[in-house]
Amino acid sequence: MTDPFRRELLAYCYRMLGSVHDAEDLVQEVYLRAWRSYAGFDGRASLRTWLYRIATNACLNALEHSSRRVLPSGLASASDDVPPPGSRAPEVPWLEPLPDRLVGGVPEDPAAVVAARAGLRLALIAALQYLPARQRAVLVLRDVLGRPAAEVAGILGMTGAGVNSTLLRARSRLERLVPASDEIVEPDEPGRRELLDRFARAFETVDIPALTRLLTEEAAWEMPPVPHWFAGREAIGRLLAARLPLGRDPNLLVPVRANGQPAFGAYLRGEDGVLRAHSVMVLTPTRSGIAHISSFMDPSLFDGFGLPRVRD
């Protein structure tokens, strides 16, 4: 009865927590709580609403005991100097990308597809982490998932008026944190595919000039857990020239999807010629080029995308 809701609950908990691993653990807890309390389920609310009530309470409780998950661009201004290798901040609770394969279930309606992708975009998830927990829950339930105000009031134990006022405050704060979705104009499918193919070829062959030409003028590149990030073609070009290995056989980018966006599993070739997992890169393509790249330098993330950590 409850299994059909597992993937959407995972997406909901991820929006709230900003971590795939934490969201997966919490969904397990939600199902355990539901199993233990099912005898008391009276059916006055739908099974979905009942599960969301359990999930919301679990998320709010978890957020009382955890720190906000962030991206480097949320911590400081863009850097001008390339940091030395090994400059990492593992103690920071970093935002994690969400593999699309874990939430699956692509809607048939094209408008629903766009809405589902927009509700998981990295920029939105990063901005949500700056909202107070209850505002975050109201905004996700009302604006992202489209649940009625009365239902959200029941889930959170609030009045309808309280839900509406909380939603207005959350919207106001979110508008200051993340660009409006209509400011991101994606290319059409053929243009997007060509842009991504050119990016993959340039990265694999370490063609820095070709790579930077594919970026917008104000493009940003960040690499959690490295706390530095870079803005603009020139700064990004210096970063890539310093970090990508030259004079070896090609690297490898494997196309995947994360947060409803195009992404790559990036393998860098070592001096021994072996391709090893390096980072999961989530891209924001626009009609004028690639506007943002979040390169998550954590090989353990490859497991969630079904990718091996070493390639032949």
For the stretch 239-297, pLDDT in tens is 999 999 887 789 999 999 999 999 999 999 998 999 999 999 999 999 999 999 999 99
What pLDDT band is residue 83 in, cutting at 50, 70 and 90? confident
Which residues have a Cβ under 8 Å from the Cβ of 131 and sit 6 or more positions away?
A: 139, 170, 173, 174
35 vs 29: CA distance, rounded Å:
10
What pLDDT band is residue 312 in, cutting at 50, 70 and 90? confident
Q: What is the pLDDT of residue 181?
A: 53
295 vs 219: CA distance, rounded Å:
13
φ/ψ of 88, rounded to 5, equals -130, 160
What pLDDT band is residue 110 in, cutting at 50, 70 and 90? very low
The predicted model scores a pTM of: 0.92
Whole-number Cα distances in Å, 240 to 206, 233, 288: 8, 10, 21
- Report which secondary-structure segment, H or E, holds 278: strand 275-286
What is the average pLDDT across 113-136? 86
What is the average pLDDT across 168-179? 88
What is the average pLDDT across 205-218? 96
Domains of the chain: 68-121+185-312 (3.10.450.50)
What is the average pLDDT across 180-194? 77
Q: What is the pLDDT of residue 111?
A: 46
Q: Please check whether residue 279 is in contact with residue 119, taking contact to mean a CB–CB distance below 8 angstroms.
A: no
What pLDDT band is residue 115 in, cutting at 50, 70 and 90? low
Q: With CA atoms as reference, report the closest residue to 167 among 195, 136, 190.
A: 136
Q: With CA atoms as reference, report the closest residue to 12 among 33, 29, 26, 31.
A: 26
Q: What is the pLDDT of residue 137?
A: 97
Residue 51 is given by DSSP the state H
Q: Please check whether residue 206 is in contact with residue 244, taking contact to mean a CB–CB distance below 8 angstroms.
A: yes
Percent of the chain with pLDDT over 90: 80
Q: What is the pLDDT of residue 39?
A: 86
Percent of the chain with pLDDT over 70: 94
Q: Is the pLDDT of residue 112 over 70?
A: no
User: For residues 298, 281, 56 and 182, what is the CA-based torsion angle, rounded to 10 degrees?
Assistant: 160
240 vs 203: CA distance, rounded Å:
9
Quick: pLDDT tens for 19-76.
Answer: 999 999 999 999 999 999 988 888 788 899 999 999 999 999 999 999 999 999 999 9
Q: How many CB atoms lie within 10 A of CB 22?
A: 20
Quick: pLDDT tens for 1-13.
Answer: 888 999 999 999 9
Q: Is the pLDDT of residue 130 over 80?
A: yes
Helix H, strand E, coil C: the string for 226-274 is: EEEEEECHHHHHHHHHHHCCCCCCCCEEEEEEECCEEEEEEEEECCCCC
72 vs 138: CA distance, rounded Å:
26
Q: Is the pLDDT of residue 117 over 80?
A: no
User: For residues 19, 24, 27 and 33, what is the CA-based torsion angle, rounded to 10 degrees?
Assistant: -110
What is the average pLDDT across 218-226? 96
